[in-house]
Amino acid sequence: MSDTLTDSVALVTGASSGIGEATALGLAAQGATVALLARRRDRLDDLSARIEADGGRALVVQADVSDQRQALDAVESVVAQAGRLDVVVNNAGLMRIGPAADADLSDWDEMVSVNVSGLLYVTRASLPHLISAAADSPRGVADLVNISSTAGRSVQPGAAVYALTKFGIGAFSEAIRQEVLGQRVRVSLVEPGTVQTEITDHLPEPDRERLARRNGAMVPLAPADIADAVTFIVTRHRRVAVNEILVRAAEQTW
């Protein structure tokens, strides 16, 4: 383990699998106390046990970020238990794809609720604590990292609303960055390409087949590849702000 983030507290949403799980492990390895937030309590308990078995520290916070009250209470619970909040990684997200003319509106509602509203709720609750932490942190800085997607800069047919949510995250991140940079809070955007995660598991079979055809023989990224990007961002000296990282699979063209 490293001590780069010793005495820091990091909150990771969507921590029960994939990029969130890998990011939590990466931040814990840097010495942070990691608050694990997601809906699946059993997964969070397992991850917490793994972190602590490796000598790290973890808190489990079961919550649905798309529920405003749950999101706000989750952030306050982390601060109440850990005493501060230095790093927030907004990773929770989901994807539904298909032609807009045939879309189930509940799929659109769910994407907007999780990908946009959830990120907004967690960010709003976290910002005052990040500002406070930056003022007295040995690192001299606090970090907000929003996980977006290549869909936030490249639009594909069938992914209209998914892209809408990811483009929105980019705009929101840049506005917040400008608002809080004078208070030593860095805001960063990470845009992963195709990653081997559970995000496509809940898609109908025809949609999964369509994605498989598009990806072809491309070797997808691993969640740890994105976790590496997050860890790089938050371990820079306070003079350095890495505002955006685009990470594609090596063969990816979009």
162 noted as active-site residue = yes
d(CA 219, CA 197): 13
d(CA 95, CA 178): 29
* C-beta neighbour count of 3 within 10 angstroms: 9
d(CA 168, CA 162): 10
Under a CB-based contact definition with an 8 Å cutoff, are residues 243 and 146 in contact?
Answer: no
Q: How far is CA 73 from the centre of its chain?
A: 18
Considering 63, 66, 94, 162, which one is annotated as catalytic?
162
Helix (H) or strand (E) holding 11: strand 9-13
Closest by Cα among 154, 151, 153, 144 to 178:
144
User: DSSP readout, 79-92?
Assistant: HHHHS---EEEE--
Catalytic positions: 162
